[in-house]
Amino acid sequence: MAAGGFAAARVAAARHLGPGFRNVALEADPTTVAAAGPGAEVAIRFRDAGGRPHERPYSAWKREGARLEVCVSLHGLGPGSAWAARCAPGDEVEIAVVHARPVDLVEGAGAHVFLGDETSVAAADALMRELPPRVPARAAFEIASPDSRWPPGELAPGLAPSWIPRDGRPGAALAAWLDRGWLECGPHAAAYVTGETWLCSTVAARLVRELGFPRERVRALPFWKRRASS
């Protein structure tokens, strides 16, 4: 076990799922991997090309045995994106499970709705794979460019998300999509909102105030915050 509760790991494989993001598979002690629930927040410590240490959180997409997979957006805006773009099998890192799962699924919900942005897809997909059979699920993700769309074959069986082009600040286009009445999920649905901070607060409020979702059936978790200058 590395210092600070981190465990040694290494890159087992890395591949592009699309032009805008990369799937990185890590191998670590099976006990560490087993602590990560669906969509768990996993902190990864790595070194950049100059040898400087960095730490970034990512959502666990798939995990089995000693293998844990994450998907990283290649936006080119920070050391995490640069690491994901260049990492290769054999590279050493350290990992720690920060939160076992991003949000808890609402028991007994008649349908499950997952809303967010490009940083939400891996965790949402992981949670959707845990749903009971024949329970309806819908998803809509606001994305900065078409490069952030996931290939259909990589997503949970039967899932066809709505991909909403970003227009302005993160969350504005998704909120407008909700206002136009595109979300149809029936009664007793539960909603899970992740991604950028303003997106989470705005979309969660829309679901409760305008769309009639009971507050206890809406769960939100911010993953990142937009810089004031962006």
Q: Whose CA is closest to 226, among 200, 188, 192, 207?
A: 200
d(CA 222, CA 185): 23
Q: Which residues of 101-197 form beta strands (DSSP E)?
A: 111-117, 137-143, 162-165, 189-196
pLDDT tens by residue, the chain, 230 residues: 455 689 999 999 999 998 889 999 999 999 999 999 999 999 999 999 999 999 999 999 999 999 999 999 888 778 999 999 999 999 999 999 988 788 889 999 999 999 999 999 999 999 999 998 888 999 999 999 999 999 999 999 888 899 999 999 999 999 999 988 777 776 789 999 999 999 999 999 999 999 999 999 999 999 999 876 54
Measuring CA to CA, how many Å separate 212 from each of 43, 51, 207?
36, 51, 6
d(CA 175, CA 130): 27
**Domains of the chain in sequence order:** 3-99 (2.40.30.10), 111-224 (3.40.50.80)
How much of the chain is in helix, strand and coil states, percent to nearest 5?
A: 25, 40, 40
